[in-house]
C-alpha cells in the first residue's frame, strides 16, 4: 500500500511532548523532538502544524518558543491524529471511470464504495479506542534492555 510513517511520527511527537511536560518543562522544540525521532525538525514542524490545525497542540513563537499539548494525552486518540495527518481514504477507486456500458463496470464503484465505507468505519472505531495516554504508557512499559 506504500504505507507512510506520518501517524507513527505524529504519535511519537505527541508522546514526547506529553512526557516532557510531565517532567516540568513548559514547551518542547521541534529540534529536540526531531532528535528523538531521528529526523529533520522541519518534518516535525510540518506534522505538528497539522496537529495544531486539528486543535491537538499549540505553538508559541518568539523567545522561549515551542510546542505544548492543547489537550491531555488521555483525551487524544489515534483517530484524532489519523484524521489530522492522513488526508485520503484507505482504498482508492479506479483512476479512470470504468466502462459504464458494462454491467460490472457500471456497478463496481457503488458496490466497493459501500464496502469500503464499512471497513473504514471499523478501522476508525479501532483507532478511537487507543489514546495517546496508552501509547505513552506502552512506551514507558518497554523494558530498557531486552532479556
Partner DNA sequence: GGCTGTCGTAACGATAATAGTTACGGCAGA
Partner DNA sequence: TCTGCCGTAACTATTATCGTTACGACAGCC
The residues binding DNA (CB under 7 A) are 1-2, 4-6, 9, 28-31, 39-43, 45-46, 48-49, 52, 59-67, 86-87, 92, 94-96
Residue 42 in the binding site for a copy of itself (CB under 8 A): no
Residue 106 in the binding site for a copy of itself (CB under 8 A): yes
For a copy of itself, the binding residue among 55, 72, 74, 122 (CB under 8 A) is 122
Partner whose footprint covers residue 128, from DNA, a copy of itself, none (CB < 5 to 8 Å by kind): none
Q: Is the dihedral angle over the CA atoms 124, 129, 133, 134 positive or is it negative?
A: negative
Contact 9, 39 (CB under 8 A): yes
Helices and strands (H and E) in the chain: how many? 6, 2
Selection from 75, 3, 17, 13 nearest residue 50 by Cα: 13
25 phi and psi, to 5 degrees? Answer: -85, 150
Helix axes 6-22, 30-37, angle to 10 degrees: 120
Stretch of 52-60, 64-72, 132-140 contacting a copy of itself, by CB under 8 A: 132-140
For a copy of itself, the binding residue among 24, 62, 63, 141 (CB under 8 A) is 141
For a copy of itself, the binding residue among 24, 38, 63, 147 (CB under 8 A) is 38
Amino acid at each position: 500500500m506504500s504505507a507512510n510513517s506520518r501517524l507513527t511520527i505524529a504519535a511519537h511527537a505527541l508522546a514526547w511532548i506529553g512526557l516532557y511536560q510531565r517532567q516540568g518543562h513548559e514547551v518542547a522544540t521541534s529540534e529536540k523532538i526531531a532528535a528523538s525521532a531521528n529526523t529533520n525538525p522541519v518534518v516535525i514542524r510540518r506534522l505538528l502544524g497539522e496537529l495544531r490545525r486539528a486543535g491537538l497542540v499549540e505553538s508559541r513563537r518568539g523567545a522561549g518558543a515551542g510546542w505544548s499539548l492543547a489537550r491531555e494525552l488521555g483525551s487524544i486518540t489515534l483517530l484524532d491524529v489519523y484524521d489530522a495527518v492522513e488526508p485520503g481514504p484507505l482504498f482508492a477507486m479506479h483512476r479512470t471511470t470504468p466502462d459504464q456500458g458494462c454491467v460490472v463496470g457500471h456497478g463496481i464503484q457503488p458496490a466497493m464504495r459501500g464496502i469500503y465505507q464499512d471497513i473504514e468505519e471499523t478501522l476508525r472505531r479501532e483507532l478511537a479506542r487507543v489514546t495517546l495516554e496508552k501509547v505513552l504508557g506502552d512506551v514507558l512499559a518497554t523494558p530498557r534492555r531486552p532479556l
